[in-house]
Structures are given as structure tokens and as C-alpha cells.
Amino acid sequence: MKRIYDKTLLERYIRQFGIDALFESDMRPYMSLFSYDRGECICNNGDVMEYFYFNVKGKLKIYTLMENGKSLLLRFNKPLSILGEVEFLSGYRVKCNVDSLNEALLIGIRMEDIHKYAGNDPTFLKYVIQCLGYKLYTISNTTSINLLFPLEKRFASYMISIASDETTLQRQNEIKTSNMIEMATLLGTSYRHLNRVMRELADQGIISKKNGNISILDYTRLKEMAGGLLYE
Amino acid sequence: MKRIYDKTLLERYIRQFGIDALFESDMRPYMSLFSYDRGECICNNGDVMEYFYFNVKGKLKIYTLMENGKSLLLRFNKPLSILGEVEFLSGYRVKCNVDSLNEALLIGIRMEDIHKYAGNDPTFLKYVIQCLGYKLYTISNTTSINLLFPLEKRFASYMISIASDETTLQRQNEIKTSNMIEMATLLGTSYRHLNRVMRELADQGIISKKNGNISILDYTRLKEMAGGLLYE
DNA sequence: ACAAACATAGGACATATGTCCCACAATTCC
DNA sequence: GGAATTGTGGGACATATGTCCTATGTTTGT
């Protein structure tokens, strides 16, 4: 973790995501910009959260780590999203682990400052509620899906959801898989099993794997296989 | 569901849980008291939430129901807790099903009213954030354990949770199982498998099944088996 | 360039869980 | 009372998934 003393960059991100509009007063004086390297840990189970963060660049991995060493990915976190909103009012210690997956930039505000200057700011509080509501909803959804459907269906629906990119509004038929292991944990399964299921789909001519990319060959059958499931 | 026109009772619960202290203005004029019977449904997937609720008596069961009929228990909800906080700001439809497990009492405030009179009330908003944070935390915990541990553990924790009755504050060692099939779906498994696992526990002398009731014979070992997971 | 670390691919086997089926007891319906 | 329905208990087998291990290609660090 490095602090970046670049007011211009900070300002650019505030503008880009409209972060100033989330507060009724100007919080800029209390904001710092931090950068994290690929794979760097942002916080761990048991930590006391010193900052409230806005993730403005990079993908974060949020996961639990159990006593027996098993871990489960809870979600990925992409800009714009927040970190520390649970701890902000409760004062609890952190319960999850958060790692940066690539180079990430976070805007941090000290917990004392956010308490002092935004602790009674309805605009900000409502934003936090929305974020929390969204997180609660998605995790409930994922939980059910993970437990109730076999990987084949989950994989199919996952593929469809990332293939239809909301930004371009057009379907990508080629998906670059940054990392199979990451994908496996996201789907709540083992790498081995994901591999097995993917090969079955490949054998059936529904997808194909080529130099690390997955191509959708038969979108119709893939959609059929997902059977209405939606990962959000 | 019956509306109860008993101002004294309403006032008693407001006092008992300090509900008036959660708002900066007096919300009593907008509160109604509702009672639900054992097993009665409070809301369903797809409903529009008309009220924001405080659960002041009774245990609620919160679960999802998928299109294919499968369902999964998300959590139990005991006083004091709230319902409708996700819908309150987002306007989303309800995504879960909520049933009352025993006789329950809820204080309801119409969504319009809570928007109008508490939508910018920092005290209330902060309370909502705390509740959401707590829910997010517990569901994250449950999710991980659900996915990382076998039914045996889930069953054990389920037993422990319903055996400790909040009203009597004393442990029931005999649990009447209204319906095994329902219990299986709640735990996200098949009846067959639940049966199998229960027999294993019975063989180990941890529980016993007699004329439709489950008795806990060895609470300590049962708790051990649950391994810290609590459906709270 | 070479070693080390990592990603991909998959065999062999164990375990958790699901599906299908049947038997029997309890409850409800005429 | 007898038939029909429903809940319970469990055998046999199939499927989904995990664990462990091995091999090979690919990237990275020095």
C-alpha cells in the first residue's frame, strides 16, 4: 500500500464517480488516495478498520477464511463500491479478507473523520444503505444459487451474465479468463471440478477453450442449460 | 394477519425495545400493530412491500423460493429486528419469503410514511445501517459454512437455533417437527438426505426421533458439531 | 538462459448428496 | 370401517463434487 499525493488524480476520480455528490459537505480535505499492488492485501479478518474506502480502480476480492483453512469468495468488488461500511457504525472488527486482484486505487477517509463529518449526513447514509442493500441482495441470491444448483447450471448462467456486457450491450462470444482458479472460487467450487464441467460442455460443442479464452459456440443451448438462473 | 388496535400494547413494545429512540421525531402516529399466526406468511417473493416492520415478538423464518420449487433458509429473525429495509430505499420488490414460526407481533409503518418522516432522519438511517451490516455479516458467515460444510453441521446448527426459544429463555430439548419435508427444503437438501443424516446422529446418540418429535440427547456434542455456526 | 513459480489439464478415488422406489404407519375422507 | 392420502424410514443406485496427485506448458525473476 502506497499513499499517492496527487490531488489532480484524486479529483479526477471524485469527478468520474460523482463522489462529492454522495456527501452534503465537501469531504475532500479528509480524502487520501491509496494504491495497492496486484495481490496485495487490503484488510484481514480481525483487523480494525482505520479507513472507510471508495474503490475507484481495480477489482477487489472479498472472501472469508475459516479456521480449517478453507476459504470462500463472497464477491468481487468493482468501482464504484465501498469498503468499511459495516464497521463504520458498528465498530466491529473486520470479518472478511480483502485482496486487490490487480493494481487498485482506493480513496480513503479516516473512520474518525467520516464519523465526525458524515456521520449524520442523510445523503451519505442513504447511499450506504443502498450499497448494503445491494450487497445483501446479491449475496442472498448467490447463496441460494450456489447451494441449490449444480455447477453446470451455475457456470452456464455465469457465462451468459458476463458475456452480455452491459456497457457494449452486445454479446461477447469470446471471454478472456484472467484466471481459472479465481473463477472456480467465485463459483464456489474447486478448480478441478470446474475444469471437468467445462470439458463436458466443450465435448458437447457448447463452448470451446483456446489459449486461455472461452468461446461460446452455441449460445442457445448454453442459455437453455442455465435455465433462467441469473448471477448478478 | 390481524391488525391489533391496542395502543397500550403497542406502547409497551415501543418502550421495551426503545423504538422511539430510533427516530428523531415521534413516529407513533404512523405505527400499527399486526399479529401473525404460527406458520402464517408475512411476505413473498415479488411482493411490493407496503410496510416497514419492526419484529417485536416471535421468530420469523426468511427463505428464498426458486422457480423450480427449491428453497433455502437464509436466516431466522428475532426481536428486535427489521423487515423491509432493503426495499425502503431501493423500491425493489421483495426477494425473499418470510413466514412466522410462532405467534408474532410486528409494528408496521407504511413505506410512504417512513419515507416522508424518517427518510432523512440520521438516527433512523444509522440504525438501518447497523441492522443491514449485521445481516450482511451473518449471511456471509452462513453462506460460507453452507458451502464449505456438510449437511450434518447445518442440521446441528439449525437444531440448536430452534431449540433455544427466545420467549421462555430456556432450552427446549424436544422439538416438534411440523414437517420433515419442509425442514429439508429449508436446509437446502432433499428429504432423503436429511433423513440419512438424522439417522446417523441418532445412531451416535446425539438426538433421538420419537413419534415425529426430535429430542436432543447430547446438547454439547450437537453444539460441537455445529462448529460455531449459528442461524441467528 | 535457466530455475522457480504458476497455470492448465486431467486420472483415480472418496464422499456428499440426489433420485427412484417400496414398505409401512398415521391421518383424513367418505 | 375401509379406502385414500400423507408422512416417515430406508435400500439401491446415480450424480455432483472434493481431494490428491502427476504431467506439461507458460510466465517470471535473476
CATH number at residue A190: 1.10.10.10
For residue A58, the model assigns a pLDDT of 82
At which residue does the C-alpha cell 401473525 appear?
A: B36
For residue A176, the model assigns a pLDDT of 61
* B161 and B81 part of one domain: no
Amino acid residing at B83: L
For residue A178, the model assigns a pLDDT of 65
Tell which wins on pLDDT, A207 or B68: A207
- Selecting from B128, B130, B188 the residue whose C-beta is nearest the C-beta of A147 gives B188
* B34 and B125 part of one domain: yes
What is the pLDDT averaged over residues B19-47?
91
What is the pLDDT averaged over residues B210-227?
83
- Selecting from A72, A121, A141 the residue whose C-beta is nearest the C-beta of B144 gives A72
Look at residue B232 and tell me if it is in a domain: no
For residue B177, the model assigns a pLDDT of 63
Look at residue B231 and tell me if it is in a domain: no
Kindly report which listed range (A110-124, A167-181, B75-89, B94-108) carries the lowest average pLDDT score. Answer: A167-181
Look at residue A39 and tell me if it is in a domain: yes
* A29 and A136 part of one domain: yes
* A76 and A58 part of one domain: yes
* A16 and A106 part of one domain: yes
Burial code (b: 16+ CB inside 10 Å, e: under 16) for A127-148 equals bbbebbbebbbebbbbbbbbbb
* A19 and A129 part of one domain: yes
Low-confidence ranges of chain A (pLDDT < 70): 67-70, 164-178, 229, 231-232
Look at residue A129 and tell me if it is in a domain: yes
Final residue in a domain of this structure, among B116, B146, B176: B146
Q: Does A217 touch chain B (CB under 8 A)?
A: no
Look at residue B137 and tell me if it is in a domain: yes
For residue B79, the model assigns a pLDDT of 87
Residue B92 has what DSSP assignment? P
Q: Does B128 touch chain A (CB under 8 A)?
A: yes
In the 102-121 segment of chain B, residues within 7 Å (Cβ) of strand D are none
Residue A147: cis peptide before it, omega within 30 degrees of 0: no
For residue B211, the model assigns a pLDDT of 67
The predicted model scores a pTM of 0.83
pLDDT at B166 over 50: no
For residue B151, the model assigns a pLDDT of 92
Look at residue A232 and tell me if it is in a domain: no
Final residue in a domain of this structure, among B120, B146, B172: B146
For residue B165, the model assigns a pLDDT of 55
Give the bases of strand D that a protein CB approaches within 7 Å. 7-12, 15-21
Which residues on B lie below 8 Å from A134 (Cβ)?
90
Final residue in a domain of this structure, among A102, A118, A142: A142
* B105 and B12 part of one domain: yes
What is the pLDDT averaged over residues B108-115?
95
- Count: domains in chain B: 2
Asked if residues A43 and A49 have their Cβ atoms less than 8 Å apart, the reply is yes
* B120 and B173 part of one domain: no
Range of the domain at A168: 149-226
The contacts of residue B215 (CB under 8 Å, 6+ apart) are B173, B174, B175, B207, B208, B209
Look at residue A231 and tell me if it is in a domain: no
Kindly report which listed range (A131-145, B8-22, B26-40, B123-137) carries the lowest average pLDDT score. Answer: A131-145
For residue A67, the model assigns a pLDDT of 65
pLDDT at B25 over 80: yes
* B6 and B53 part of one domain: yes
Note the CA–C1' distance, B191 to C20, in angstroms: 13
For residue B167, the model assigns a pLDDT of 42
| SS3 state of residue B226 | helix
pLDDT at B76 over 70: yes
Kindly report which listed range (A118-132, B130-144, B186-200) carries the lowest average pLDDT score. Answer: B130-144
Amino acid residing at B15: R
* A61 and A115 part of one domain: yes
Cell for A143?
447463496
* B30 and B122 part of one domain: yes
For residue B35, the model assigns a pLDDT of 93
Q: Show the DSSP H helices in chain B as ranges.
A: 7-17, 85-90, 111-118, 122-148, 151-163, 180-186, 191-203, 219-226
Provide the sign of the torsion angle of the four alpha carbons A159, A161, A164, A168, taken in this order: negative
Count of other CB atoms within 10 angstroms of residue B137: 17
Look at residue A58 and tell me if it is in a domain: yes
